Structure 1
Amino acid sequence: MNSPLHELVVATHSPFHADGSLAPEVVPSQAAFLSANGIRTVFITGSTGEGHSLTCAERLALYEVWSTVGPAEGLQVIAHVGGNCLEDAKILARAAEKLGFAAISALAPSYYKPGSLSGLIDCCAAIAAEAPKTPFYHYDIPSMTGVSFPMEKFLVEAAGQVPTLAGIKFTNPDLVSYRRSLEVAGSRFDLPWGVDEMLLAALATGAKGGVGSTYNWAPKLYLDLIAAFERGDLEEARRLQGISIAMIDAIAKTGFLGTAKALMGRLGVEVGPARLPLGNPTEVEVDSLMERLEELGFGEWGARKAEMVV
């Protein structure tokens, strides 16, 4: 990669047509929109990208389009390759390296779960070995996988078994574990934070950057939050984090992912609905959401609409 992920990295939505079929033709407008709003790195086909609801072929199709569109818009691309089938993950890792992505990432298998830390490391090593020239990030998200091991120990033990290990995408609200992991990581490993509602707390704990879904539609809010923290204006940073939480709460009332995708549509980027088993809001519910977001200052903090960034 060009540098550690000491920035806002957008976890992108996977675009679908109204009938739920993949819509890769939307990716160019999606990439242009993110780039114009100041984003420089994207994380594709992860949780926000409904990676577990995509077939292997669909993920490969998105890889193909992002591999050309991303660099054309000045975006480096990180591909999430993980899943319950390690053989699919290996295919995806090989494709990501062939396409020249900046890094790959994989979460733990969550149906047949690794029963020990060494088992988790074995899974990571098997995937990373298929992309021996590409940095690898473990994606720690125990709330979704049900797999929870001390990440500080993971860094120590995986370092010798995963030569391409770059760090951990830390989507785990345990700040004590995060601090322990940062101390082990030092300057060797990169630990981007993955819980948007707790970015300020993570910055205070030592985070340098983050990967998140809400950066799709409110990057300026978080850039201003980081700037306030760095200049020591904690009152302003806390205020901005409060706005972040309130916006997320408003979106989550009608199902976070489906509603967030509808919000992107209102911003001119038609990423379509969420796939089952996730739900989607009604137009009336989205209208109500937009009113609430405007009350919270979305006109100031939200991403500029697509027609405004062309």
Structure 2
Amino acid sequence: MVKINGLIAATFATFHADGSLNLGGIPPLVEKLIEDGLKGVFICGTNGEGPNLTVEERMAVAEAYVATAKGRLFVFVHVGHTSIAECRKLAAHAEKIGADAISAVAAFYFKPTNVANLVDSMVQIATAAPKTPFYYYHIPALTGVGMDMVEFLRIGEEKIANLAGIKYTAATIHEYQACLNFKGGKFDVLFGYDELLLPALAVGAKGAVGSTYNFAAPLYLRVMELFEAGHLHEAQQLQLLLVSMIREMVKFSPIPAQKAIMEMIGMDLGPSRLPLMSLSQHDKELLQTRLEAIGFFDTLKQIKPVNDRV
């Protein structure tokens, strides 16, 4: 089983000013992520506003990312939906176009009642793309489904033939560590809380998926390098800067705020769709001022992207 070693950007859908899909915004974003040293993209998830897209739009976004990545980035396609039938349609499409992996959240309206029920639901989705690795997307803060993930792996390994692992987006580091070490590390458990990347590294994380990796990957990769080299204090200080950045960002609506930061570094990805609301010009300026005050942009300029280093 292939395991991810490095960072995956939970990246965006790009829109025109009128809110319609702008597939032309995807290629330059992909090139930036490659330049920054990312290993892959996770598309149509939370940051990609998957729940705000139609099934047809999600398919179009997936096609654009797969075509642009051309084997240069590992492409995860999120296929989660409140309807399992729609999940299956998205999963089959992802396999057909050559996505590297699929992932799905739990149903978040009629929720699974226990771990076995959750696994049975994921079986239905994963079997629609039997040749494609499947990652369960654990994000209890948004789905309201916060079940035992070690138990999920125990039951899932017997019932989901293409189960590759979990995208683990929760702050419960102790359970994350247990998942990492289940059956001697059988599964690829990708960490999904950017604020806690350094603690996750300390318990054994090798791969992570994050939204702020779209614009701050060089800093996070430097945290990983410092940790691996044993320079723990420096890693802590840089992680603290990233925590401070996120604390400022989440004072606004997080996804629109991240799009605003992308605009600040020269990449306009368009607005967000309701009920998400794009930041006003005043709020954009306020966020930029706060990020400048903590030294975020200055530090980002000082650390070269991995692929720019001599």
TM-score (norm 2): 0.94
For the 8 Å contact 2:245–2:296, the answer to whether it is kept is no
Offset of residue 9 of structure 1: 0.4
Offset of residue 244 of structure 1: 0.7
- Aligned residue for 1:192, secondary structure, equals strand
Gaps of at least 5 residues in structure 1 are: none
- Aligned residue for 1:84, secondary structure, equals coil
Poorly superposed stretches of 4+, deviation over 3 Å? 302-305
Matched, 1:178 2:176: yes
Deviation per residue, 1:126-182 (Å, 9 max, x gap): 000010100000000011111111101111110010010000000011112112212
Provide the C-alpha distance between the structure 2 equivalents of 1:249 and 1:172, rounded to a whole number of angstroms.
Answer: 17
For the 8 Å contact 1:33–1:269, the answer to whether it is kept is no
Provide the C-alpha distance between the structure 1 equivalents of 2:298 and 2:7, rounded to a whole number of angstroms.
Answer: 20
Provide the C-alpha distance between the structure 2 equivalents of 1:238 and 1:7, rounded to a whole number of angstroms.
Answer: 18
Q: Which residue of 1 aligns with 2:223?
A: 225
Relative distance call for 1:185 and 1:240 in structure 2 (3 A) is farther
Deviation per residue, 1:194-251 (Å, 9 max, x gap): 0000111111111111000000000111011111111222211111111111111111
Offset of residue 46 of structure 1: 0.5
For the 8 Å contact 2:13–2:44, the answer to whether it is kept is yes
Identity of aligned residues (%): 41
Q: Which residue of 2 aligns with 1:12?
A: 11
- Aligned residue for 2:86, secondary structure, equals helix
Matched, 1:268 2:266: yes
Relative distance call for 1:289 and 1:185 in structure 2 (3 A) is farther
Matched, 1:27 2:26: yes
Provide the C-alpha distance between the structure 2 equivalents of 1:253 and 1:145, rounded to a whole number of angstroms.
Answer: 21
Matched, 1:119 2:112: no
TM-score (norm 1): 0.94
Provide the C-alpha distance between the structure 1 equivalents of 2:12 and 2:262, rounded to a whole number of angstroms.
Answer: 9
Offset of residue 88 of structure 1: 0.8
- Coordinate RMSD, CA, aligned: 1.7
Gaps of at least 5 residues in structure 2 are: none
For the 8 Å contact 2:256–2:276, the answer to whether it is kept is yes
For the 8 Å contact 2:81–2:107, the answer to whether it is kept is yes
Residue type at the aligned position of 1:148: G
Provide the C-alpha distance between the structure 2 equivalents of 1:195 and 1:253, rounded to a whole number of angstroms.
Answer: 17
Provide the C-alpha distance between the structure 1 equivalents of 2:244 and 2:122, rounded to a whole number of angstroms.
Answer: 36
Residue type at the aligned position of 2:244: A
Provide the C-alpha distance between the structure 2 equivalents of 1:294 and 1:76, rounded to a whole number of angstroms.
Answer: 32
- Aligned residue for 1:104, secondary structure, equals strand
Q: Which residue of 1 aligns with 2:197?
A: 199
Q: Which residue of 1 aligns with 2:298?
A: 299
Deviation per residue, 1:14-47 (Å, 9 max, x gap): 1111121111111111111111221231110001
Q: Find the partner of 1:277 among 275, 278, 281.
A: 275
Q: Find the partner of 2:92 among 91, 94, 106.
A: 94
